[in-house]
Structure 1
Amino acid sequence: MKIDKPKIPMGLTSASFQDVFSNEEPYLGSSVVESSIVESKQIEKVEFYQVVFRNVTFTDVSFRKIELTDVIFENCDLSNVQLIEGSLHRVEFIDCKLIGLNLSDSTLKNVLFTNCNLNLSGFGYGNLKQVSFLTCSLQNADFYECTFSKVQFQQCEINDANFTGTPLKGIDLSSSTFQRLTVAVEDLRGCEVSVEQAVGFATLLGLKIKD
C-alpha cells in the first residue's frame, strides 16, 4: 500500500519546544527538536509543519485539535498524550512508545507507525485513510466506530483490540496475531484472515469444526 512520506526539506533548523510560543499562534515549522522533555503542556490548535522530533519525551501533555503535516517522530515517548480531534497528514512514528496515546475523533491520512508500542491507544470515532501499522503492538487498542480506508496491519500484535462499529471490509489481518478481538459479526464481512484465524472466529460464533 502506498503511503505518501513526509516532505522534509534539507537543512532543518535546530529548535526547542519553547519556540512554539514565539509566534502569535502556537506553531513550529521547518525544524528539528532533539533529546528533550516536554511536560505539563495543554495547548489547543498547535500546528507543526515539516518538523522532526527525535528522542523527545512528552509527559502530561494535551494538544487538542493539533495539526501535524509532514512530521516525523523518531524514538519518542508520547505515552498518554492527548491528541483528540487532531489532523495528521504525512506523519511517521518510528520506534516510538505510544502507550495510551489518545487520537479519538482524529483524522489520519498517509500516516505510518513502524515498530511502535500502541497498547491501550485510542482511535475511537477516527477517520483513518492510507494508514499503516507495521510490526506494532496494539494490544487493547480502541478503534470504536472508526472509518477505515486503505488501513494496513502488518505483523502486529492486536490481542483484545476493540473494533466495535468499525467495518473491516478489505482489511487484512492475516499476518497479525491475536487470541481475542472485540468485533461484531457483521463488521467482519470482507475482512482478510488466515486459516487459523478463521477457525478462531468460527469458534467464537459457536460453530463446531470437524476434521
Structure 2
Amino acid sequence: MDWLTKLFSQENQQKNETPKPAAPIKSLTHKEFKNKYDNGERQFKNYILDNINLKKINLYGVSFENCTFQLIDLRDVSLRDANLKQANFDGMKLKGIDLSNAALHQASFVATDLRASNFTGATLTKVDFHYTNLYYACLRGSNLSEANLQNAELTHANFKEANLSNANLNNSNLAWADFTRSNLCGANLLNTNSFDADFYNAEMRNCLMNKMSYTHKNFSKS
C-alpha cells in the first residue's frame, strides 16, 4: 500500500470513529411528563424539565439521564436508585433530597443547596459540587472519584468509607467532616479548613495537603 492510499485509509477510519453528536435537549412540560409517567414511561433522556411538580410521585429507579432541572421543588423528594448521569441541578434547592444508590456520573450540582441530603452508596464520579452546600449531607460509601468539590461547604458531612480518590477539595470547608476509612489517594486537600475533621484509617497516599489547617484532626492509622 503506497503512502497516499494509506493516508486516505486512515482519514476514512477516523471519520468512521467520529462519535455521533448528542441528541438535542427537548423541553418537557408538567402535563407531558405526567402523561408519559402515567402511561408507564420511566426513561427520560435529554429533556429540560421546567417547573414540573415531582412531589408525591414514586421516582424509585426512574432515569433522567442528561436532563436539566429548572424551577423544580425537589426538597425531600426521593430519587433512590435513579439514573441521573450528566443531569444538571445547578443552583437548585435540594435540601433533604434522597439520592442514595443513584447513578450520577458527571452530574452537575454547582452552587446547589444539598444540606442534609442523602447520597449513601451513590455513584458520583466526576460530579461537579463546586460551591455546593453539603452541610450534614451523608455520602457514606459513595464513589466520588475525580469529583470537583472546590469551595464546597462540607461541615459535618459524612464521607465514611467513600471513594474520593483524585477528588478536588481545594479551599473547601471540612470542619467536623468524617472521612473514616475513606479513600483519599491523590485527592487535593489544599487550603481546606479541616477543624476537628476525622481521617481515622483513611487512605491518603499522594494527597496534596501541605496547606491544610490541621487543628484537632484525627489522623490515627491514616
TM-score category, normalised to shorter length: 0.7 to 0.9
Displacement of 1:177 after TM fit?
1.7
8 A Cα contact 2:134 2:154, kept in partner: yes
Task: Say whether 1:105 aligns with 2:101.
Answer: yes
Q: Does 1:92 align with 2:88?
A: yes
Quick one: structure 1 residues 51 and 151, their matched pair in 2 at CA, closer, same or farther if it must change by over 3 Å? same
- Where does residue 204 of structure 1 map in the other structure? 217
Find out whether 1:133 has 2:129 as its counterpart.
yes
- Name the structure where strand makes up a greater proportion of residues: 1
Task: Give the structure 1 partner of residue 116 of structure 2.
Answer: 120
CA distance in 2, matches of 1:62, 1:49: 18
Call closer, same or farther: CA 1:206–1:73 in 2, change over 3 Å: closer
Q: Deviations over 1:47-80 (max 9, x none)?
A: 2122212234433343000111221012322011
User: Please, what TM-score do these two structures have when normalized by structure 1?
Assistant: 0.74
The answer (yes or no) to whether the contact 1:125–1:146 under 8 Å persists in 2 is: yes
Which of the numbers 118, 137, 144 marks the counterpart of 2:140? 144
Kindly indicate whether the alpha-carbon contact (under 8 Å) linking 1:74 and 1:95 is maintained by their aligned counterparts in 2. no
Tell me which of the two structures has the higher relative contact order, counting C-alpha pairs closer than 8 angstroms and 6 or more residues apart. 1
Q: CA deviation at 1:106?
A: 1.5
Return the letter of the residue paired with 2:188: E
Which one has a bigger Cα radius of gyration? 2
Task: Tell whether the 8 Å contact from 1:146 to 1:166 is kept in structure 2 after alignment.
Answer: yes
- Partner of residue 172 from structure 1, selected from 145, 168, 173: 168
Alignment of 1:190 with 2:190, yes or no, is no
Per-residue deviation, 1:12 = 4.1
Larger CA deviation: 55-64 vs 129-138: 55-64
What is the aligned counterpart of 1:62 among 33, 36, 58?
Answer: 58
Aligned-partner residue type, residue 19 of structure 1: N
**How far did residue 22 of structure 1 move?**
5.8
When residues 129 and 12 of structure 1 are mapped into structure 2, their CA distance, relative to the original with a 3 A threshold, is same
Aligned pair 1:81/2:77, yes or no? Answer: yes
Normalized against structure 2, the TM-score is what?
0.71
Amino acid in the other structure paired with 1:102:
D
Deviations 1:78-105 (A, max 9, x none): 0111111111122101221111111111
Distance of 2:65 and 2:78 partners within structure 1? 17
Secondary structure of the residue aligned to 1:150 is coil
1:85·1:105 contact (CA, 8 Å) conserved in 2? yes
Distance of 2:29 and 2:137 partners within structure 1: 34
